[in-house]
Amino acid sequence: MSRFAAPIAEAIWDMKYRFKAADGTPIDTTVEDTWRRIARALASVEDDPAAWEPRFYAALEDFKYLPAGRITAGAGTERSVTLFNCFVMGTVPDSMGGIFDMLKEAALTMQQGGGIGYDFSTIRPRGSEVKGVAADASGPLSFMDVWDAMCRTIMSAGSRRGAMMATMRCDHPDVGDFITAKQDAARLRMFNLSVLITDPFMEAVKADGSWDLVFDGKVYQTVPARDLWNQIMRATYDFAEPGVIFIDRINKANNLNYAETIAATNPCGEQPLPPYGACLLGSLNLSRLVTDPFGPDARLDPQALDDLVRMAVRMMDNVVDASRFPLPQQQAEAQAKRRIGLGVTGLADALLMLGLRYGAPEAAAQTDAWMRAIARASYLASVDLAREKGAFPLFDAEKYLASGNMQVMDDDVRDAIRTHGIRNALLTSIAPTGTISLYAGNVSSGIEPVFAYAYTRKVLQKDGSKTEEEVVDYAVQMWRDKMGDAPLPEYFVNAQTLAPLDHVRMQAAAQKWVDSSISKTINCPEDIGFDDFKDVYMAAWDQGCKGCTTYRPNAVTGSVLSVSETTDATPQADSGADVVYLADPFDRPEALEGQTYKIKWPGSEHAIYITINDIIIAGHRRPFEVFINSKNMEHFAWTVALTRMISAVFRRGGDVSFVVEELKAVFDPRGGAWMEGKYIPSILAAIGGVIEEHLIRIGFIDGHGMGLKSDPEAAKMAVGYPTTPACPSCGAFEMQMSEGCMTCRACGHSKCG
């Protein structure tokens, strides 16, 4: 019997987490091998590994405790990757040399698979004086462009793009440019953006007061606070960015506010971290801890929860000692504070099993109770670890107990910490769990509501046949197994039918007992009024949230799949929105038609020749392979690499027009060239332009700067929503905003890593 509750769960394991040799041969033959590998790796730092390995295995078994993807994929493999998910880099100096030193550190971190955050508020504003060089400063946005270009070239561990968060204070003189930066569709695509909102600013907004934009003690401009707030809100309403981080609240609630100041978060926002801060993540699968689901005695087993929390805390603490780190500063920071981020997934499913409607006051109260139990158990587990292994090195009992969340913690927990110390400075965080929730049987993700109860996934095989697979939410499948064809009760709600303020209520209920933060997306209907939209953010502020991220589908942001609100039957995605993508690459036919193009780069002795061959399927032509050649031997390595990579992408099917975007965005720091009256920033950008011209010529895309026109292999659209974005990994039109991150439901690809 397979341990997997659904075929998609096994597919995610095989694609993302299964340990394989370099040639693709599986080393983990079953998921039990994966659990054993992780358990053995994390037990290896114990004094008695043999005693702890079976206990760790038991926590992992049946997907009860879900370490974050980097731990699941990397632990026990001896690969040179970090097991930490989240990093905030060092403070960016306001000097050219210091800025590029930080760029190098960012590249090294992303190379090992870490998502990073940066505060760019420390760079002087555009137009200010640069002493000694008789020039004006170009401002933080110009350097963010450099970071963005660097990130495009770095592939994170597990074949995922690097992810970055950029923050800027609400009083920085360039904050207006920061707010609107991503309204240029080609700019800062590798960044999530969030504005750091201070308490005085929110007070000024509520009082309709003025607000100074300041740098280094100099007031550059004074603006009405509500005007700046409305600019942030309008950008978020129309473009889904920037997000909002209540930075003063974060620092006041930080257990380590006596030892650090936070100015940035990781890419999805659940981990506010100090300079060089690092944190690892893991989730408790609450759906596996409910007894008598949908029955009269349905409850979440408190003893099972307590036991699982204690084991998870020990395992995560061991990761601090077992992991590699990209930079020595990150290792020193992690070991000095030993912060971990234990969260939950399957919360919405667990509430459904108890007959509670997500977003209702009763569900919020239950969430509060569960999160309090998790906080208590995690802190007491960390106290026990401190008794056994010692407190974290920067622990100071009186300062710690007077700081952050410790001021509202139960007296018995405070007394235990005062007596014995605590092993981990911070313990709880609710992270995005999109991929690991699929791996665990398509349980609801993090603390999000169920996104859709079921949808159909179609796979086009190499022989042209199609297979269909229904992907069903874990709780819905359990209802079907137990109740047969009985209609779903009224308390079954999903992300599309939930009122935005119900989202806020749930986030606030969980935040009370989470000492770091929460990654959550508040889905808003497309027709929500602007004033009602602003009320969502004000409610998040008033109810004690540490930040707020919304998503309103529209022609700019793209649209999510529509889901029926009826409870008479399982809501389904519209049939026109079924996913179709290639399970394996196309086989190469004996003969292909193509075209060869010539690029003569100014200053280069030899031309570059680009041959693009096409395949014809169902009467439609699409690119199949590329060959890039030059007599210049200095070009040999990168042209071969580019040939292989682009061809591999083309042969997978789907919307491959993103290749053009990526190539055209590459700039050469030595300078580009003028070709046929246009400035081309690099040879790679010129190659991207040639491929784009070819795709237009064969009818694959409509025109310059435009995406897929028609895709016979991955043909799919959401009915009524033609702007739904295609996944850059598998081509499926299943990208959705969840937990602050665009994620593909078909293959688990996430732009946030």
> How high is the pLDDT of residue 151?
81
pLDDT tens per residue, range 458-512 = 544 445 555 677 889 999 999 999 999 899 999 999 887 899 999 999 999 999 9
- The answer as to whether 425 is a domain residue is no
How far apart CA 474 and CA 736 sit, in angstroms, is: 19
Type of residue numbered 400 = Y
Confidence of residue 178 (pLDDT cuts 50, 70, 90): very high
Q: Across residues 651-666, what is the average pLDDT?
A: 81
For the cut 60, the answer to whether the pLDDT of residue 718 exceeds it is no
Q: Is 266 a catalytic residue?
A: yes
Quick one: how far is CA 35 from the chain centroid?
24
The larger pLDDT score, comparing residue 193 to residue 747, is at 193
Asked if 373 contacts 301 with a C-beta cutoff of 8 angstroms, the reply is no
- Which of these ranges, 338-347, 689-698, 729-738, has the smallest mean pLDDT? 729-738
108-137 per-residue burial string, b: 16 or more CB within 10 A, e: under 16: ebbbbbbbbbbbbbbbbbeebeeeeeeeeb
CA-closest candidate to residue 575, choices 591, 564, 590, 589: 564
Determine contact, residues 342/313, Cβ cutoff 8 Å.
yes
- Over residues 504-540, the pLDDT tens digits come to 999 999 999 999 999 999 999 999 999 999 999 999 9
What is the pLDDT confidence band of residue 457, given thresholds at 50, 70 and 90?
A: low
* Secondary structure E strands in 428-488: 454-460, 466-472
Q: What are phi and psi of 316, to 5 degrees?
A: -70, -35
Which of 675, 697, 719 is the last residue before a domain boundary? 697
Query: Which residue out of 53, 105, 260, 270 is catalytically annotated?
Result: 270
Q: Is 729 helix (H, G, I), strand (E, B) or coil?
A: coil
Lowest mean pLDDT among 72-81, 221-230, 354-363, 439-448: 72-81
Give me 581's structure tokens: 């993508």
The kind and range of the H/E element at 603 are: none
Domains identified in the chain, total number? 2
Task: Give the confidence band of 662 by pLDDT, cuts at 50, 70, 90.
Answer: confident
Q: Which of 528 and 163 is assigned the larger pLDDT?
A: 528
106 assigned to some structural domain: yes
Taking 80 as the threshold, does the pLDDT of residue 715 lie above it?
Answer: no
Residues in the chain: 753
pLDDT value, residue 581? 39
Residue type, 211: W
What pLDDT, on a 0 to 100 scale, did the predictor assign at position 483? 93
Residues 444 and 474 sit within 8 Å (Cβ to Cβ): yes
pLDDT over 80 (residue 574): no
> What phi and psi values does residue 591 have, to the nearest 5 degrees?
-135, 145
Contact partners, residue 416, CB within 8 Å, separation at least 6: 379, 380, 383
Residue of 192, 254, 266, 424 marked catalytic: 266
Place of tokens 């300062």: 399
Specify the DSSP element, H or E, that contains 75: none
* Calpha distance 191→268 (Å, rounded): 10
The reply to whether 484 falls in a domain is: no
Mean pLDDT of 142-148: 91
d(CA 507, CA 512): 9
Choosing from 195, 230, 252, the residue where a domain stops is 252
* Whole-structure pTM value: 0.78
Region at 478 (left for phi over 0; alpha for psi -120 to 50; beta for the rest): alpha
For residue 501, is it within any domain? no
What confidence score (pLDDT) does residue 741 get? 67
pLDDT digits (tens, 9 = 90+) for 236-287: 999 999 999 999 999 999 999 999 999 999 999 999 999 999 989 999 999 9
Give the pLDDT score at 379.
98
Task: Identify the active-site residue in 86, 151, 170, 268.
Answer: 268
Q: Does residue 582 carry a pLDDT above 60?
A: no
Task: With a cut of 60, say whether residue 717 has pLDDT above it.
Answer: no
As a whole number, the mean pLDDT across the chain is 86
CA–CA gap between residue 576 and residue 719 (Å, rounded): 6
**Is residue 647 a part of any domain in this protein?**
yes
Alpha carbon distance 121, 171 (integer Å): 9
Residue by residue, DSSP assigns 233-301 as HHHHHHHS--EEEEHHHHHHT-TTTTT----EE-TTSS-EE-TT-EEEEEEEEGGGGEESTTSTT-EE-
Residue identified by tokens 């622990």 is 395
pLDDT for 587 equals 67
Q: What percent of the chain has pLDDT over 90?
A: 61
Q: Who's near 109: CB < 8 A, 6+ residues apart?
A: 87, 89, 116, 326, 327, 330
Q: How confident is the model at residue 110 (pLDDT cuts 50, 70, 90)?
A: confident
The CA distance from 691 to 510, in Å, is: 49
Task: Assess if residue 504 is contained within a domain.
Answer: no
Distances (CA, A) of 443 to 5, 9, 16, 291: 10, 10, 17, 16
Q: Is the pLDDT of residue 618 over 70?
A: no
Give the lowest-confidence range in 135-149, 215-229, 344-358: 135-149
Give percent of the chain above pLDDT 70: 86
Residue 219 to residue 617: CA distance in whole angstroms: 62
User: Which pLDDT value is given to residue 730?
Assistant: 53
- 313, part of any domain: no
pLDDT reported for residue 159 = 41
Query: What average pLDDT score do residues 376-393 get?
Result: 98
H helical segments located in 451-595: 474-483, 500-511, 530-542
Name the residue range of residue 650's domain: 593-697
pLDDT grade, residue 678 (50/70/90)? confident
Q: Is the pLDDT of residue 352 over 70?
A: yes
Using the structure block, give the residue that is written with the tokens 């796979």: 459
- The pLDDT value recorded for residue 709 is 36
